[in-house]
Homo-oligomer: A and B are copies of this chain.
Amino acid sequence: MKKDLFKHKPLTAYDAIYEAQKIAYAPLVFQAVRAMRELGILTQLDEYKSGVSAKDIAEKLKLSLYAVETLLESGLSSGVVEIDEYEMYHLSKTGVYLLHDEMTRINMDYNHYICYQGMYHLDEACKTEKPAGLRVFGEQWQTLYQALPHLPEKIKKSWYAFDHFYSDSAYPVALPIIFQSRPKTIMDIGANVGKFSILAAKYDSDVRITMVDLHDQLQNAVDNVSEAGLTDHIDSLAMDLLDRAQSFPKGIDVFWLSQFLSCFGKQEIVSILQRIADAMGDNDRLYILETCWDRQQHEASAYSLINTSLYFTAIASGNSKMYHSDELIDCIKQAGLQVCQIHDNIGICHSLFECGNSESE
């Protein structure tokens, strides 16, 4: 635990019961704000800086006055909109972020399309250590990663937007660190759609990269590599790392794990890292890019990460999360590796763990 996080002020009994109601009504408030964003009400408020009436918004957007008033009143209660003495509505500062801030928009879409419905089954997921909420996307999947390529476009899009928004900000900062040792070969484990591999191949045209992922996932990555004209630099290897019999080839200079270990439980993480350690020579490096809630500059980031863990519990895997850095370091050590250096503040919220084979040190 990072001691200075989430130090809440002491509350009066009245304030505490009010806070409890805010939690009790939280899903309704979320959907009211989202509806105002989707229906264009927040945009209307943003356009009329000097205020606009509910009636004018309703007419402009061809919505009923009833619907507009009901949503605006909820928005008043949640501090997203404000009202002046002439009964004209305004967008609050919080509302401005909900409307314009890309991160907030992506978080909200993700929590609606990917998380909202399945989260209904969170208590069951906690009891069974299975992603019980995943069934809202079909009964046939064991993990979200199997389901992902087969989900409806809008849902899939919100997943990739979320995943890429955070990694896109981190990769340009991570690349110079990784390439300091001038690796000739990189294995991109959990390559997803191939974003990192493509960037790395462009960063250094001498490097040879192998993308590793589930068979169904990999197809998309291979297509993207082909489209980027990088098939001579990047190849692929289908592996299911939950199968402990699957091992890595030797002779890889750099193993790269980006936003990958958060998809696995601790025992699985140790098993994956052990297999990487087995393949690593004295001078080879393992780089782990993760978002650890205890290493954030701002409490708001820690808040978002800690609650994204619930997505892993209910939807993605049933047994993984956004780990505290101490937990990751513990897994790294258990696998016989050691952390050489931790680079914080990579992009918006990442930390880069540089690891070596401890026997070699």
- Enumerate chain A interface residues (CB-CB to B < 8 A): 1, 3, 5-6, 8, 10-11, 13-14, 16-35, 38-39, 63-64, 66-67, 70-71, 73-74, 76-80, 82-83, 85, 87, 92-94, 96-98, 101, 104, 107-108, 111-112, 115-117, 119-120, 122-123, 125-127, 129, 265-266, 293, 298-300, 302-304, 306-314, 319, 321
Contact = CB atoms under 8 A, between A and B. Distances in A.
Contacts of A308: 25, 28
A97 B17 contact: yes
Nearest to A106: B24
Given A117-B117, A126-B63, A107 B300 contact: no
A155 B192 CA distance: 40
Given A20-B94, A82-B8, A28 B74 contact: no
27 contacts: A1-B76, A1-B87, A5-B76, A6-B76, A8-B79, A10-B93, A11-B94, A16-B93, A17-B104, A19-B79, A21-B300, A21-B304, A24-B111, A25-B307, A26-B30, A28-B308, A31-B120, A31-B122, A32-B307, A35-B123, A63-B127, A67-B313, A70-B310, A70-B321, A74-B307, A76-B306, A117-B117
Nearest to A104: B20
A260 to B, nearest CB: 18
A90 to B, nearest CB: 12
A21 B313 contact: no
Contact of A123 (B20, B34, B319): B34
Given A13-B93, A25-B307, A70-B310, A35 B122 contact: yes
A64 B309 CA distance: 15
Nearest to A121: B31
A302 B31 contact: no
Contacts of A24: 30, 98, 104, 107-108, 111, 304
A79 B104 CA distance: 21
Given A31-B120, A66-B266, 19 more contacts: A11-B93, A16-B92, A16-B93, A16-B96, A16-B97, A20-B98, A22-B303, A23-B78, A25-B111, A29-B307, A31-B122, A32-B310, A66-B129, A67-B313, A70-B321, A73-B306, A74-B307, A74-B310, A117-B120
Contacts of A112: 120
Contacts of A63: 126-127
A79 B39 CA distance: 32
A28 B117 contact: no
Given A20-B101, A116-B120, A304 B94 contact: no
Given A77-B307, A94-B16, A23 B28 contact: no
Contact of A35 (B19, B101, B126): B126
A34 B314 CA distance: 13
A304 B17 contact: no
A146 B164 CA distance: 45
Given A1-B87, A79-B8, A31 B119 contact: yes
A308 B64 CA distance: 19
Contacts of A107: 21, 24-25
B30 A302 contact: no
Given A115-B27, A310-B70, A18 B98 contact: no
Which 6 A-B pairs rank lowest in CB-CB distance, beginning with the nearest? A26-B26, A67-B126, A18-B300, A16-B93, A20-B97, A26-B30
Nearest to A313: B70
